[in-house]
Amino acid sequence: MEIDVLTLFPAMFAALDESIVKRARERGLLTLRVWDIREFAYDRHRTVDDTPYGGGAGMVMKPEPIHRALQHVKAVSARPARRVILMSPQGRRFDQALARELAAQERLIFICGRYEGVDERVRLHLVSDEISIGDYVLTGGELPAMVVIDAVARLIPGVLGSAESPREESFSDGLLEYPHYTRPREYLGTAVPEVLLSGDHEAVRRWRRKESLRRTRERRPDLLEAVRLTPEDLRLLQEIEAEEGAPPGGL
């Protein structure tokens, strides 16, 4: 995969020189290029923003530097960029399903807004997607873009050490993940559940599924309404309800 990022603060993306994204780049599975929008401004002062028409506080990012940057970036690779993504609080809510959708692309381009946002003509003519990572406001699109890039990069085949890892994580099947334990066997008065020490793989699988359902039921009951539950899941939920009494959220 190739990912290009258009931003006013390229130094922020040094954080992606660590961990999973770094591993993907070292293995040649991901090419990440970060571009400074100021380099594509028209004037010697490298102006990238201006006051909003109609008045109001703050500054708005101008469309011309973004457009010039996007034209240049599209030309640096033979791979088509079918998804040009503007990070925006008004966009589609980012989730694991969208991460998988983006991970199937050969190339992505991210545009990071700042100040009061970008000129509306950027939204109308230059981007294919707007994505939000939550219902809150940040000072720019850089941190949201890094969140999306990290989530997408780990889904590229070969990036994670185990092919099972992305399939067992929270939200991969619509549920929260089961609890994890490692050594020591007992700590702070809490012991590792005996089933995890039994060597019985089927019992471990069933325990993990049950605890995944339990945790989702307790913390995110809304997810249970959207996931397709198997007959085994329904039996496990009945066991959980019997163990804990009335279900949260009326489930």
At 240, is the pLDDT very low, low, confident or very high (cuts 50, 70, 90)? very high
Domains 2-153 and 170-250 share a fold: no
Q: What is the C-alpha to C-alpha distance for residues 164 and 147, in angstroms, rounded to an integer?
A: 22
Residue 81 in contact with residue 134, Cβ under 8 Å?
Answer: no
* 3-state percent helix, strand, coil for the chain, nearest multiple of 5: 45, 20, 40
Given CATH 3.90.220.20, say whether it is the number of domain 170-250.
no
Provide mean pLDDT across the span 73-83: 96
Our CA angle for 122, 15, 70, nearest 5°, is: 25
Q: What is the C-alpha to C-alpha distance for residues 118 and 90, in angstroms, rounded to an integer?
A: 12
What is residue 44's predicted lDDT score, i.e. its pLDDT? Answer: 87
For 17-40, what is each residue's pLDDT tens digit?
A: 988 999 999 999 999 999 999 999
pLDDT above 70 coverage of the chain, percent: 93
Q: Which own/partner pairs from 63-66 qualify as long-range (CB within 8 Å, at least 24 positions apart)?
A: 63/118, 63/119, 63/121, 63/122, 63/126, 65/37, 65/38, 65/40, 65/41, 66/6, 66/37, 66/40, 66/111, 66/118, 66/119, 66/122, 66/126
Question: Does position 124 have pLDDT exceeding 60, yes or no?
Answer: yes
What is residue 162's predicted lDDT score, i.e. its pLDDT? Answer: 58
Q: What is the C-alpha to C-alpha distance for residues 58 and 117, in angstroms, rounded to an integer?
A: 9
Q: What is the C-alpha to C-alpha distance for residues 47 and 58, in angstroms, rounded to an integer?
A: 15
How, if at all, do strands 49-50 and 186-187 pair?
unpaired
Q: What is the C-alpha to C-alpha distance for residues 62 and 45, in angstroms, rounded to an integer?
A: 14
**In this structure, which topology does domain 2-153 adopt according to CATH?**
Alpha/beta knot (3.40.1280)
Question: Does position 94 have pLDDT exceeding 70, yes or no?
Answer: yes
**Rg, C-alpha atoms of the chain:** 23
3-state DSSP call for residue 169?
coil
Question: Does position 111 have pLDDT exceeding 70, yes or no?
Answer: yes
What is residue 164's predicted lDDT score, i.e. its pLDDT? Answer: 47
Provide mean pLDDT across the span 193-204: 97
Q: What is the C-alpha to C-alpha distance for residues 66 and 141, in angstroms, rounded to an integer?
A: 14
Q: What is the C-alpha to C-alpha distance for residues 219 and 225, in angstroms, rounded to an integer?
A: 13
Instruction: Write the CB contacts of 167 (distance below 8 Å, at least 6 apart in sequence).
Output: 173
H-state helical runs in 92-229: 96-103, 120-125, 142-153, 165-168, 201-219, 221-226
For CA atoms 6, 131, 147, 21, the dihedral sign is negative
For 41-59, what is each residue's pLDDT tens digit?
A: 988 899 999 999 999 889 9
Residues 220/226/231/233 CA torsion (nearest 10 deg): -20
For 133-167, what is each residue's pLDDT tens digit?
A: 999 989 999 999 999 999 999 999 999 975 545 55
Provide mean pLDDT across the span 169-187: 86
For 207-229, what is each residue's pLDDT tens digit?
A: 999 999 999 999 999 999 989 99
Residue 177 in contact with residue 169, Cβ under 8 Å?
Answer: yes
The structural domains of the chain, with segments of one domain joined by +, span 2-153, 170-250
